[in-house]
Structure 1
Amino acid sequence: MSDETPGDPERAEEAKLGSEIADHSTEMSSILGDAYRGELDRETTWRSRLDQTTTWGVTVVAAILTWAFSSGDNPHYIILVGILVLSFFLFIEARRYRDYDVYRSRVRLFQQNLLADALDPSVGVEHEDWRSKLSQDYRTPTLKVSTWEATANRLRRIYLPLLAVLLVAWLFRITAFAPNENPLTTATIAVVPGIFVVAAIALYYIAAILIVLWPRERHAKGEFREGDPETWKEDEDDG
């Protein structure tokens, strides 16, 4: 007989045990408290991994800018190399953010429905079926946000400002450091004409801005948001 059959004695015993725990509020509170601390620790661990990637990105930008402007003989394209490196860090951080959001979403379920309700029972829980949602997520862990949403989030919060700094630095480098030359000539890299270099950079930044501004349904949970909380609720209901 398969382990998945409803008549399996072992599964029946497990279901009985789960039911007994659910019927005892003290045991359930203890289990939920331990689960919350565990998820909070995982969230903190992944948060530190995000911060490490950001720190490396800022460090690389600072080092490249320092070297690029230390001498007029240094090539301008080292700043473009910095853009490529920063894009690589963005890719890594977007992947880490998707994992981080798994644990953050669980922590937010605990906070919104268990802790908040314990502090003020008159309001009620945020999600009536939060225990079912959490149970399903423990049974089948899934990523909550897409790669596009994660990339847009990290671009908006961290990487787009850093990329903007590199863009301004590069434009300054090919203009102010060569005032008597055409910027398109200065932008030339080896056999690649400056016009193609400028066009590629322009397309890259336009794509980055579009990723940030492109409208999409929000799936990430637990971030600080500006504005009226009632507006958030309406937006979530509409979504």
Structure 2
Amino acid sequence: MTDREFDPSGERERSLGAGLFEREMGPSSSMAHLYRGEVHRMTRWRERLDRTTNWAVTVMAAILTWSFSAPGRPHYLVLVGLVTLGVFLGIEAHRYRGFDVWRSRVRLIQQNVWSHGLDPREDVDDGAWRRKLSADYHRPTLKVPFEEAVAHRLRRVYLALFSVVTAAWFIRVTSFAQSGPWPESARIGAVPGVVVTAVVVAAYLASVAVAFRPRTWYSRSELRECQVDDWRE
């Protein structure tokens, strides 16, 4: 950033967009290298999310295949698949919070640097975004609560997986039951089938509630359907 573009008083910055693609602000500038590095780290964390999802789908497919491969397979193996999906969901929610740290920085730069550079007629704001980015570099913080991260991953991937496994378990204890009619066929040891069914249904409804309950979203850069509708209009 040159003296021509920055007011030392801090009260106002001159048009950053007008000089963004000049030599001092071009692709070889420090800001461009900073942006490139943040995009790289964001991409790596995005890949970690994808790997967790791939493992969850693979394990779920293996458990369902083995459970339905013979009539005598115990139905609670499908419930083991549900518990395994819950573990993967927790891991992925944790990784999503880390991913959001880098994504929020990338979006901050895109909104306040590159968007103005592509349209030099716009003026840069009072520099609050720089102070925000500087503070985040001094002390990186997680922007998204864990419960919101769980809701994001449920909406994108895991609620569909939970629905498939829950439906498969219900089919397993009704159509393929070997120990009597449902709900007796859902028994696990000394635990009655009614109790097992109630726990499964309650767990599924809890996941739906977490995914869709009204909330204040702290992840500002998440693309949502309402934003797409606004853009189309």
Q: TM-score if structure 1 supplies the norm length?
A: 0.82
- Structure 1 runs of 4+ aligned residues shifted over 6 Å read 18-22
C-alpha change, 1:153 and 1:19, in structure 2 (3 Å) is: same
User: Secondary structure of 1:183's match?
Assistant: coil
- Which has the higher mean CA deviation after the structures are superposed, 208-217 or 80-89? 208-217
1:221 CA displacement: 3.1
**Alignment partner, residue 89 of structure 1:** 88
**Alignment partner, residue 146 of structure 2:** 147
1:223 CA displacement: 2.5
Higher helix share: 1
Gaps of 5+ in 2: 8-18
Q: Does 1:37 align with 2:12?
A: no
Q: Does 1:214 align with 2:213?
A: yes
Amino acid at match of 1:203: A
Gaps of 5+ in 1: 1-17, 233-239
C-alpha change, 1:127 and 1:198, in structure 2 (3 Å) is: farther
Native 8 Å contact 1:64 1:82 kept in 2: yes
1:116 CA displacement: 1.1
Structure 2 Cα separation of the partners of residues 122 and 81 of structure 1: 59
Amino acid at match of 2:116: D
Kindly report which structure 2 residues correspond to 1:43-58, keeping only aligned pairs within 5 A, or say none. 43-58=42-57
Structure 2 Cα separation of the partners of residues 96 and 177 of structure 1: 38
Aligned residues: 215
Kindly report which structure 2 residues correspond to 1:47-126, keeping only aligned pairs within 5 A, or say none. 47-124=46-123
Q: TM-score if structure 2 supplies the norm length?
A: 0.84
Structure 2 Cα separation of the partners of residues 31 and 229 of structure 1: 33
**Alignment partner, residue 13 of structure 1:** none
> Cα RMSD over matched residues?
2.6
**Alignment partner, residue 10 of structure 1:** none
Structure 2 Cα separation of the partners of residues 70 and 140 of structure 1: 53
Larger RCO (CA within 8 A; separation ≥ 6): 2
Structure 2 Cα separation of the partners of residues 148 and 125 of structure 1: 35
Q: Percent identity?
A: 47
